Amino acid sequence: MSEPILKLEGIGKAFGPVQVLNDISLSVMPGEVLGILGENGAGKSTLLKIISGIYTPTVGAIHLNGQIFSALDPITARSHGVAMIPQEFNLIPTLRVYENVFLGQEVRRHGFLDHAGMRKRTQQLLSSLEVDLDPELPIERLSVAQKQMVEVARVLVNDARLLILDEPTTVLTDREVAVLFNVVRALVAKGVTILFISHKLKEVKDLCDRLLILRDGQQVELCETAALNEEDMARKMVGRELSQIYPEKLAQRADNTPPALRVQGLSLKGKLKDINLEVRRGEVLGLAGLVGAGRTEIAETIMGLHRKEQGEIFIDGELVDLRSPSEAHAHGLAYLSEDRQGKGLILSFNVMQNITALSLKRYVRGFIKHRAERRQAEHYQQRLAIKASNLAAPVSLLSGGNQQKVYFSKLLDIEPDILMLDEPTRGIDISAKQQIYRLIRDLTEQNKAVVVISSELEEVIGIADRVLVIREGQIAVELNGDEINEEQIMLYAAGARQHANREQVGNQDGSTA
């Protein structure tokens, strides 16, 4: 029997007085896929950063390829075949795709950078991932899903022996996930070891050989994947039984209620064509479709982030011309971007500063009223169960899920009437998802209108009262009631059914049939 590629002995990690990992011990064999599960803040990402050399453990030893280390650094970890796809992107926006793929591992020829060779190799890697992407494009022009695939291509450049995947599928479609998993399985067949973090328990069940479950920095389970079903995994992660994940939907939608938001004939050059939609107070409208279909562009155009080519936007019956997010905020709209670090949070700010960044004028009376600001931030910390050592902690130190909760709090503090939420549970564990879904339903019960954009079909089906399926920048169909199911959504999203009832989506006067 071969030796473990990785062995951890009594690994612990503390940040000041806060103990985030305690006595983690395990061995991982070549060609094994180990799933690592736990709630946000359980210590998963901290553990992986120790293995990849980003963090130094407070106590314990790391055995890697038969050598013993008290701590690793990134260069040593990489030299021993450790590669990591992080949860948050580690790309340089102004550099081109191929330059990011080879960043820190550039290829030289005759003493000069081999740009042509790196472009060619990048194209080959992207083709293997079934990604149609020009290697010359700057990263800042890519969608979130395209950025994720560039991160995958980066780790495929060199022959990694231990590959760490931290929430790699949160922004990918089912087709893209299938492609990625085929690549992972091919690597495993070559003896590559995979450490896999995901809050999508079905993916964990399908891909992983064994599971490590963490709770509050403690190792609570290390077992064969076959020993646990998805309910068992969730229960061990949170330490309690979970009730129904999705709250009850509206019993009946009041069609005679005037829409809070109505969009008529909205077009964006090269992206959107003749979008008609409306959402009423007290309901959740879901936008489903494949990545690149135009869902995000609809929300961003409504918010004034893109200048529409044509079309009209009505808020509570009033025609508005929104040219910027600040104008949209003034009319009661708020938008949660799918890119929380790039567009949602200011990583150099602390938790409180991020929560009040959009609403700061409410706390200014000549000077900033820090006591009132802190009281409001504490309210959201309690309401959304944000795990942070204190409100003065930099938001960059929080887990991805807790960053998402801070982002939610930031939007709620401007007290919007209409919320557009793009991938609202990205990187959030099952317990936190339950909290977010309850929060969304609470907002509708407070007479708010909510639009949810999600790549997770289960999420769209579970939370939305109505669903619009977007395909190639157009609304393919509106689904209601029992029509909202995975088969119907995918048939229209993939084009297997063509705009069968577009007349139900929006008439010329913008009303819904």
Phi, psi of 332, deg, nearest 5: 90, 15
Q: With beta carbons less than 8 A apart as the criterion, state whether 36 and 44 touch.
A: yes
Of 471, 469, 499, nearest in space to 485 by CA: 469
| Whole-prediction pTM | 0.68
- Once rounded to an integer, what is the mean pLDDT over residues 108-135? 92
**pLDDT surpasses 90 at 427:** no
Q: State how far the Cα of 305 lies from the Cα of 328, in Å rounded to an integer.
A: 10
How large is the average pLDDT for residues 171-175? 76
Q: Are 400 and 87 in contact (CB under 8 A)?
A: yes
pLDDT at 446 over 80: yes
Specify the CATH class of 6-238 in words: alpha beta
Whether residue 473 contacts residue 267, with contact meaning beta carbons closer than 8 Å, is answered with no
- The whole-number pLDDT of residue 505 equals 42
**Nearest by Cα to 425 from 393, 387, 462, 471:** 462
Domain boundaries, the chain: 6-238, 258-332+417-513, 346-415
175 SS3 class? helix
pLDDT digits (tens, 9 = 90+) for 403-414: 999 999 999 999
Measured CA distances, 216 to 37, 41, 60 (Å): 12, 7, 18
| Residue 471 Cα distances to 263, 295, 335, 391, 499, angstroms | 17, 9, 21, 42, 9
Residue 511 has pLDDT above 50, yes or no: no
Decide yes or no: CATH 3.40.50.300 for domain 258-332+417-513: yes
Q: Which of 57-61, 254-258, 289-293, 305-309 has the lowest mean pLDDT?
A: 254-258
Structure confidence by residue, pLDDT tens digits, 21-59: 999 999 999 999 999 998 777 888 899 999 999 999 999
Q: Is 323 helix (H, G, I), strand (E, B) or coil?
A: coil
Q: Report helix, strand or coil for 236.
A: helix
Calculate the average pLDDT of the chain. Answer: 88
Q: Provide the percentage of residues in the chain whose pLDDT is more than 90.
A: 58
pLDDT for 445:
93
- Could you report the per-residue pLDDT of 178-224, keeping only the tens digit for each? 888 988 898 899 899 999 998 888 899 999 999 999 988 999 999 99
The pLDDT-based confidence of 440 (bands split at 50, 70, 90) is very high
Q: What pLDDT is recorded for position 498?
A: 67
Q: How large is the average pLDDT for residues 381-397?
A: 89
Topology agreement, domain 6-238 and domain 258-332+417-513: yes
Letter for the amino acid at 197? Answer: I
